[in-house]
Amino acid sequence: MILRQVRDTAADAEVVRELSFAAFAAPSDDPARPPRPTPLQLARTRHLARTDPGGCWLAESGGQAVGVVLSMRREGLWTPSLFAVRPSAQGRGVGRLLFERAMAHARGCLRGMVCASGSPAAARRYRLAGFTLHPAMRLTGTVDRQGLIDPGDIPVHRGNATHLHLLDSVDRRLRGSAHGPDHELMLGHFEELLVADALAGSGYCYRDGGTVRLLAATSKRIGARLLREALARVPDGAEARVEYLTAEQEWALDVGLEVGLTPETGGFVGVRGMRPPAPYLPNGAFL
């Protein structure tokens, strides 16, 4: 078996996409007809290969990619973005070797954060790496707009690249580190950035179709205002989706229940050297 760094190429981005599908496919999925990759899936791999080559590794055996890990360092916070092993290669130590390389990239980082599915293998790997695992929920369903009544006393408007300093400031306050270059990638691929900046506090939220992709705020009041605004902008008939709510995010659960969304368990949020940020709804790929 060969371990090598992921390259900033279209070919490696496609290999990572195919491997991820193979590792996480549902029993009903047709392996001969994988879903078309989103531009962000491919761009994420190339972005991290550029910013964090030491944290992005592929395992190859017999000319085939059998495992991948993508991870990043941001101002002392280490975050795994993707960890996948082909089912036919599981149980052969591939994941352990890949994770050791990624952990070397984390050396010197005092904090860590990860979002992951409910896979027992992933839970074991992250727990052995020192993460405290917090069970999470997701909210899904059609938005009941009668429940969206909001006083609107905190103005929310569309954001853009001129707000990067505000975004990084909120990030540092909540998780101890900025997203830095990741915001530029998210701005280019998510449908909308919403920003709140008032005397009561500040925050931001990325929305993409019906999905809330990332939300950070300096208070629960600001967080709830941003979440309501994001859900109000979900297109009629589209399914809304809000993921990775831990017990610290009851404010978000309350908003979801107000508008008729259904809660269910969904994976976990892992942290080490820190508490789960709040008010904060992480993004699975960029945390």
The pLDDT value recorded for residue 145 is 87
Instruction: Compute the average pLDDT of residues 271-277.
Output: 95
Whole-number mean pLDDT of the chain?
92
Tokens of 199: 């005397």
- Whether the per-residue pLDDT at 233 is higher than 60: the answer is yes
Domains in the chain and their CATH numbers?
2-109 (3.40.630.30), 138-281 (3.40.630.90)
From the CB of residue 149, how many other CB atoms can be counted at a distance below 10 Å? Answer: 10
Instruction: Compute the average pLDDT of residues 5-25.
Output: 93
- Whether the per-residue pLDDT at 193 is higher than 90: the answer is yes
Which amino acid makes up residue 144? D
- Whether the per-residue pLDDT at 236 is higher than 70: the answer is yes
pLDDT tens figures, 99-148: 999 999 999 999 999 998 877 888 888 999 999 999 999 999 999 988 88
The pLDDT value recorded for residue 3 is 95
Percent of the chain predicted with pLDDT > 90:
78
- Whether the per-residue pLDDT at 203 is higher than 80: the answer is yes
- Whether the per-residue pLDDT at 13 is higher than 90: the answer is yes
- From residue 164, alpha-carbon distances to 18, 36, 206, 240 in Å are 33, 31, 13, 26
Instruction: Compute the average pLDDT of residues 237-255.
Output: 96
Of residues 212, 197, 218, 219, the one with CA closest to residue 245: 212
Q: Identify whether the C-beta of residue 219 lies closer than 8 Å to the C-beta of residue 279.
A: yes
